[in-house]
Amino acid sequence: MSHVLSTYARFPLTLVRGEGSRVWDDAGKSYLDFCTGIAVCSLGHCPPRLVQAIREQAGTLLHVSNLYRIPQQEELARVIVEDHVRIPGKVFFANSGAESNDGLIKTARKFGHARPQADGSPRYEVLSFTKSFHGRTLGGINATGQDKVKEGFDPMLPGFRHLPFNDLAALQAAIAPETAAILLEPVQGEGGVNVATPEFLRGIAALCKKHDLLLLLDEVQAGFGRCGQPMAWRAIAPELEPDGISWAKGMGGGFPIGAFWLSDRAVDSAGTPLSSLMGPGTHGTTYGGNPLACAASLAVLAEIAEKNLEAEVLRQESRIRTTIASWKLPAITEVRGIGLLLGIGLDTTKFAVPAGKLPAAFVCGKLLEAGLLVPPAGPETIRLLPPLNVTDNEVDEALAIFHRVVSELGEEDAVGSGSGG
């Protein structure tokens, strides 16, 4: 009997070792890992530079309080602001994506106090979108536009509303006097891999300017090279200037770390920087940004930059798209996403799914048995999230497994319906 809380319906697989794009289970069987801990192991498993950085820092200084100066934090913040965001601002380090989003939500409320409604009462509302995912803390589930994460956790917090994704008119109509911010994933991950259109992102930016709202981007899954750009929004509307950004997942390569960035832009005529609203005493964390986590993230970001992995990501995206298009498999509807955050849509009328199973989870189970690890994204989409440094051979091998398994799905269905009649 397990003593672990059963919050996950787990696949029957126990992984014990990893190297590059490959992992091994407790029986010695190997798998290609295109799940990467859900877009976390951006350099694959046990990349030497990351392992070395963690070993060195662990042997020097693991943890100190944020009561003291932490040079690794200063350096990581500098790299993030100067090389990745490239807009003046400040970074707060956390331990996860949900926590980082909580920081953005708190910032929205602070901003709503600094820039209140006409009658002087604070603004507080955060608008987000259906099929979004922003994490499992109370703040995260309130911001998330999916009922399944909220069931049984009522009452929800005041100050959140969800609008249809990529529908600018609906958003425009929804902005109320109490609205303080708009929060979105430029590429929705968990919700099925849905890409914001350039018109939608640009329209949101214009609405934010017009109504004095914060534009907050959740780049927890899509950021730091995953979409072939330092940040996913730059792959869609590169000139966009967000007010806040959250990250986690790939930025630590497997070491837990998250962060949020706030712009230095002035929020009033006195020139008060947005980032200054979160001053001493407004927010905190015991673990966030300790020397070990920052050393790990610095190694990951340096490797992505020096190996030019963003260009590699775009090259592999194009190889994957070309190959899948050439199959013309009826069970595949389309490929969505950017870079190596890809979603393969399934036509669930083209194959039989056992009762009680969601189509995507069922197919992921079949792929696992065939030696390829991939996560679902919603009920009808399979995600491909290989390491950013995946090789041509590994991509080809994974796609060959994918093709075989998905072709056989169709055949099984044909046989099944034949014998059933």
Ligand X SMILES: *Cc1c(COP(=O)(O)O)cnc(C)c1O
Instruction: Name the site residues for ligand X (rule: CB under 6 A).
Output: 96-98, 101, 133-135, 185, 189-190, 218, 220-221, 248-249
Q: How far is the C-alpha of 139 from the C-alpha of 168, rounded, in Å? A: 24
Q: Give CA angle at 92 (91, 94), nearest 5°.
A: 135
Nearest CA among 195, 262, 263, 265 for reference residue 229: 195
Give the nearest distance from C-beta 132 to ligand X in angstroms: 8
CA 402, 405, 407, 409 dihedral sign is negative
Size (the chain), residues: 421
3-state secondary structure of 15: strand
Of 20 and 258, nearer to ligand X (C-beta) is 258
Give the nearest distance from C-beta 384 to ligand X in angstroms: 15
Give the nearest distance from C-beta 255 to ligand X in angstroms: 12
Q: Give CA angle at 377 (371, 379), nearest 5°.
A: 100
Q: Is there a contact between 105 and 139 (Cβ–Cβ < 8 Å)? A: yes
Of 249 and 336, nearer to ligand X (C-beta) is 249
Q: Write out the two tokens for 126.
A: 């955060």
Give the nearest distance from C-beta 182 to ligand X in angstroms: 15
Give the nearest distance from C-beta 325 to ligand X in angstroms: 27
Of 40 and 398, nearer to ligand X (C-beta) is 40
Of 42 and 221, nearer to ligand X (C-beta) is 221
DSSP-derived pairing of the beta strands 125-129 and 179-184:
parallel
Q: How far is the C-alpha of 177 from the C-alpha of 50, rounded, in Å? A: 47
Q: Is there a contact between 43 and 253 (Cβ–Cβ < 8 Å)? A: yes
Q: How far is the C-alpha of 335 from the C-alpha of 156, rounded, in Å? A: 35
Of 189 and 387, nearer to ligand X (C-beta) is 189
Give the nearest distance from C-beta 257 to ligand X in angstroms: 10
Of 72 and 100, nearer to ligand X (C-beta) is 100
* Cis geometry, peptide bond prior to residue 256 (ω within 30 degrees of 0): no
Give the nearest distance from C-beta 24 to ligand X in angstroms: 25
Of 104 and 401, nearer to ligand X (C-beta) is 104
Q: Is there a contact between 21 and 372 (Cβ–Cβ < 8 Å)? A: no
Give the nearest distance from C-beta 121 to ligand X in angstroms: 30
Q: Write out the two tokens for 73.
A: 């934090």
Nearest residue to ligand X, scored by beta-carbon proximity: 97
Give the nearest distance from C-beta 101 to ligand X in angstroms: 6
Of 73 and 100, nearer to ligand X (C-beta) is 100
Of 285 and 407, nearer to ligand X (C-beta) is 285
Neighbours of 317 (CB within 10 A): 21
Neighbours of 361 (CB within 10 A): 15
Distances from the Cα of 35 to the Cα of 71, 208, 334, 410, angstroms: 33, 35, 19, 24
